[in-house]
Chains A and B, each alone.
Chain A
Amino acid sequence: MKPTIVLVHGAFAESASWNGVIGRLHTTGHRVIAAANPLRTLSTDAAAVADLLAGIQGPIVLAGHSYGGAVITNAARDNADVKALVYVAGLAPDKGENTPDLLGKYPGATLGEHLYEVPLTDGTADVYVHQNAYHQHFCADLSAEQAASDAVTQRPFNTAALNEGSGEPAWKALPSWFIYPELDLAIPAQTFRFMAERAEARATVEVPGSSHALPASQPEAVADFILQAAAEI
Chain B
Amino acid sequence: MTFTSVLASIVAGATVVALAGCGGAAAEQAPSEQPTPADRPTVVLVHGAFADSSSWNGVIADLERDGYPVIAAANPLRGLHSDAEYVGSVLDSVSGPVVLAGHSYGGSVMSEAAVGHPNVKALVYIASFILEPGESTSQLAAKFPGAQLGPALKTVPFALPNGGSGQDLYIKQDQFRRVFAADVAPEVTELMAATQRPITEAALSEPATGAAWKSIPSWNMVTTEDLAIPAESMRFMGERAKSQTVEIEASHAVTVSHPEAVADLIGEAARTTAA
Instruction: Please give the residue numbers on chain A whose beta carbons come within 8 Å of chain B beta carbons, in ascending order.
Output: 14-16, 18-19, 22-23, 26, 31-34, 36, 38-39, 44, 47-48, 51-52, 55, 99-101, 103-104, 107, 109-121, 125-128, 130-133, 145, 148-149, 152-156, 159, 162-163, 186-187
Q: List 7 A-B contacts (CB under 8 A).
A: A16-B54, A55-B157, A116-B16, A116-B29, A130-B31, A162-B10, A186-B3
Contact status of A51 and B157, CB under 8 A, knowing A19-B195, A103-B2: yes
Residues of B in contact, count (CB < 8 Å): 57
By secondary structure, the B interface counts as helix
Residues of B contacting A148 in the complex (Cβ-Cβ under 8 angstroms): 60-61, 64
B195 touches A103 (CB 8 A): no
B64 → A minimal CB distance (Å): 6
A115 touches B6 (CB 8 A): yes
Within 8 Å of chain A (Cβ to Cβ): is B74? yes
In the assembled complex, the Cα of A154 lies from the Cα of B30 at a distance in Å of 14
In the assembled complex, the Cα of A28 lies from the Cα of B199 at a distance in Å of 29
A109 touches B31 (CB 8 A): no
* Residue with the highest number of chain B CB atoms closer than 10 Å, among A14, A116, A121: A116
Residue in A16, A109, A149, A159 whose beta carbon sits within 8 Å of that of B3 in the complex: A109
In the assembled complex, the Cα of A52 lies from the Cα of B16 at a distance in Å of 35
In the assembled complex, the Cα of A122 lies from the Cα of B10 at a distance in Å of 16
Residues of A contacting B7 in the complex (Cβ-Cβ under 8 angstroms): 99-100, 103, 112, 162
Residues of A contacting B158 in the complex (Cβ-Cβ under 8 angstroms): 47-48, 51
Residue in B8, B190, B198 whose beta carbon sits within 8 Å of that of A36 in the complex: B198
Residues of B contacting A14 in the complex (Cβ-Cβ under 8 angstroms): 52-54, 74, 195, 197
In the assembled complex, the Cα of A103 lies from the Cα of B6 at a distance in Å of 11
Which chain B residue lies CB-closest to A32? Answer: B194
